[in-house]
Amino acid sequence: MTQLGATVTTTRCRGAGPAQRRGPGKAWPRPGRPGWMALGWILLLALCCAGPALAQERNHEAPGAATDRAMHPSVTLDGQRRDVDAWPAVTVRADASPGLSIEALIAEAGADGRGFTPAQTPWANLGQRRDSVWLRIPVRVAAQTRADWVLDIDYPSLDRVEVYLVQGGAVRARYELGDQIRFDERPLPSRSHATRLPLTPGADQLIYLRISTRSTMIVPVRLIDADLWYEQETHVQLLQGLLTGIALCLVLYALGHWLGRHERLYLVYAVSVGGVSLFFFSYFGLGSQHL
């Protein structure tokens, strides 16, 4: 009887589940490789989405922003701020006559901007449009302010942006931006649409933008001190390089396991990470800059 009872007890111990065999103070089992892959995937998505999330937070228009734009008809560059959001001063006009020249538009608009109205839309978002749109931005430069400013539109998906700097009713400078312009032909070698503007201190000037695109017409236009612009672009390049390196490591890790273990899950993971990384690489304008 004693031997039989011992046998029964031993059999029960051998058949006990993991929870019954785990003694007090013992750790739970670690997640397997698929678990670590899922955690890595979540980390990559969080890092890649950090930039757009911050942009959405900055781009959110507070209630009454349209009224605020009407109360501030011009962008003032007085040296107190080195990074100035130009959208509150933007007025828009649909390009009903595609062949209209900038000289004819200046004559029609006059000094008070006839035909231009404040955009009744969220901040810097004109939605999907098939027609082109003119934007008018009055700029007032203080006499003691440095004239080295950059016009920056940080939305690389815009197809074509024509920039005109007008002073005294005449066009002083014109530039062509957009992802349809070859990278080596852009005014500034940057991922965003940017150009230096020869602003005149102590004078009122106008900036006209003609925008046409097949994607959503998002125009986060700003005027920023040239030195600060270069500094910010350096930080963006550093962050995007870090994210790209992390994504490349994850892809190589998954491909190595797929070749060694011949498990389809690793190949699917590598393709997924690579596709998402390429999307964000293109979305932030790095594709046209580095490829």
Provide the residue ranges of all domains of the chain, joining segments of one domain with +.
72-225
pTM of the model: 0.71
Residue 237 confidence (pLDDT): 85
| Position 264 pLDDT exceeds 50 | yes
In terms of C-beta distances under 8 Å and separation of at least 24 residues, what long-range contacts does 259-268 make, across chains too? Answer: 265/34, 265/37, 266/37
User: Starting from the edge strand earliest in sequence, which strands make up the sheet with 148-153, in order?
Assistant: 83-85, 221-225, 148-153, 193-198
Bin 285: left if φ > 0, else alpha if -120 < ψ < 50, else beta: left
Q: What is the pLDDT of residue 218?
A: 92
What band does 67 get if pLDDT is binned at 50, 70 and 90?
Answer: very low
- Sequence-distant (6+) residues with CB within 8 A of 53 are none
Is the predicted pLDDT of residue 216 greater than 60, yes or no?
yes
- pLDDT value at residue 80: 86
Place of tokens 């781009």: 59
Tell me, what's the pLDDT at 152? 95
Predicted pLDDT of residue 182: 86
**Residues 218-222: what's their mean pLDDT?**
94
Determine the Cα–Cα distance for residues 149 and 24; give it in Å rounded to an integer.
Answer: 67
Q: What is the mean pLDDT of the chain?
A: 78
Q: Which residues of 119-147 are buried (b: 16+ CB within 10 A; e: fewer)?
A: beeebbbbeeeeebbbbbbbbbbeeebee
218 secondary structure, DSSP code: B
- Inter-residue contact 144 to 79 (CB < 8 Å): yes
pLDDT computed for residue 40 by the predictor: 52
pLDDT of residue 134 exceeding 50, the answer is yes
pLDDT band at 43 (very low <50, low <70, confident <90, very high): low
Query: How do residues 225-263 score in pLDDT, each as one tens digit?
Result: 999 999 998 888 888 888 889 999 999 999 998 999 888
Architecture of domain 72-225: Sandwich (2.60)
265 in helix, strand or coil?
helix
Of 285 and 264, which is predicted with more confidence?
A: 264
Residue 69 or 136, more confident: 136
The tokens for 33 are 């490789």
Are residues 172 and 165 in contact, defined by beta-carbon separation less than 8 angstroms?
yes
Range from 63-72, 87-96, 150-159, 217-226 carrying the lowest mean pLDDT:
63-72
Please state, as a whole number, how many other Cβ atoms lie within 10 Å of the Cβ of residue 221.
24
Which residue is it, tokens 């009713």?
A: 169
